[in-house]
Amino acid sequence: MGNGGYDARHYTIDLSVDMKKNSISGSTSMDAIATKSLSAFNLDFHGLEIGDITVNNIPAKYTRKGDELTIVSTAPLPTGKDFIVVVNYGGTPDPLNDPSSPGDPTGWIKGRSGIFVISEPSGSMNWYPVNNSPQDKATYIFRITVAKPYVVAANGLLASQVDNGDTQTFTWQCSHPMASYLASIDIGKYMLVAETGPNGLPIHDYFPQGTALDSIANFDRTSQMLSFFSDTYGPYPFESYGAIVVPEDLGTAMENQTLSLFGMDMTDEISIVHELSHQWFGDSVSVKTWNDIWLNEGFATYSEALWVEHSQGETAFHKYMRDLYGDITDQMMASPENPTVSDLFGDSVYERGAWVLEALRLQVGDDTFFKILRTYYDRYKYGNATTVDFIAVAKEVSGQDLKRVFDDWLYSNRVPAMPKLGP
């Protein structure tokens, strides 16, 4: 996935959605800049039927091979040239079965009573043409038209809601760079619970109509969590935050930028903490390639433990870390760094990835450890980072030779003995 030769800067996704047929029609425009001289360029696009394509308002020829859409520009695009490509398309999105998550459809998904999007890692291309790499981040506008009484929630802030009679058009604006797999729209019969978080941050949570009050109450501590992670990692990076609970038992949740998605069976406190912490590590600081996914999931899993430490105390934190260690010693365990496709979302990436950070913390001490995390976040926020980048920050801030820690916990296929934790 992903293509070279240009840098996507902005996407405008303008779609009309037929909820009964689960079909879409409309366009996606991409504003980009050529990073080398181009006579043609590629987008990732799966399944849907193309009407026509223009480049800088001039009709363009194109070919398709599998999920690769090759667009031939009528006029060559020299290095440094800004251009806009518009793809008009429609049809019924075909969920992808990514080899990293066999049996779990990704992308645009039709549920029992609505539509939702879970695109990690490859699903975005099943509902809009895109440079489908986490390295090419862009801002977004979503302009989605649906029949009443359906509600559309998406990344960023709701800029407008226009009544067209039988339909409504919801326009959402995501003003900070976003990796393509985090782009999401969710459509259903939802009720909005809005509040103001730390420093005036808008928090908007969407629940299926009729959701029990105790389920809504699971999200009552979101503002406290935002304050804790802002103090620990750095200021919350985006224009809003919220959650959407889809009326499905999904067995998973997803950290879509500014609007985390939860199945009804995944609204426990730890899941809420995990997805919220991704807004710093995963969404603001994104990986350059999927090889380094532990920088997302190991950090979010360790964030769970930090929240337990903050809210329940050191003894609870030590138990949490011992439990994570038990998960990684009950089986053969590859290193968290550069996992195979089938292990992209495995225990090594999550639990052992968290233990990489705990081992580092034990080596350098609390003050230096949290300075490392804050420096890493501040240096790479709104961009991309690699494992090499994180290790370089850790060495720079600590002034220590950390080779043994990273060799043992990050790169070795042998799980090290668990260090002593507490009394």
Interhelix angle 269-277/294-312, nearest 10 degrees: 130
The gap from C-alpha 77 to its chain's centroid, in whole angstroms, comes to: 31
| Token couple for 49 | 């039927």
| pLDDT tens profile 289-326 | 999 999 999 999 999 999 999 999 999 999 999 999 99
Task: Answer whether 193's CB lies under 8 Å from 175's CB.
Answer: no
Report the DSSP beta bridge partners of residue 11.
30, 140
Which residues are within 8 A (CB) of 160 and not within 5 positions of it... i.e. 6 or more apart?
A: 169, 170, 171
What CATH code is assigned to 1-98+120-183? 2.60.40.1730
Angle at 96 between CA 92 and CA 100, to 5 degrees: 170
Rg over alpha carbons for the chain, rounded to the nearest Å, is 22
Residues of the chain scoring pLDDT < 50: none
Neighbouring CB atoms inside 10 A of 78's CB total 10
**Secondary structure class of 68 (helix, strand, coil):** strand
The residues with which 152 forms a beta bridge, in sequence order, are 187
CATH for 286-411 is 1.10.390.10
Tell me the fold of 189-282.
Zincin-like (3.30.2010)
* Domain-wise residue ranges, the chain: 1-98+120-183, 189-282, 286-411
pLDDT tens-digit map of 42-94: 999 999 999 999 999 999 999 999 999 999 998 999 999 999 999 999 999 99
Global pTM reads: 0.97
Q: CA torsion, points 361, 292, 117, 159, in degrees to nearest 10? A: 70
Q: What is the pLDDT of residue 213?
A: 84
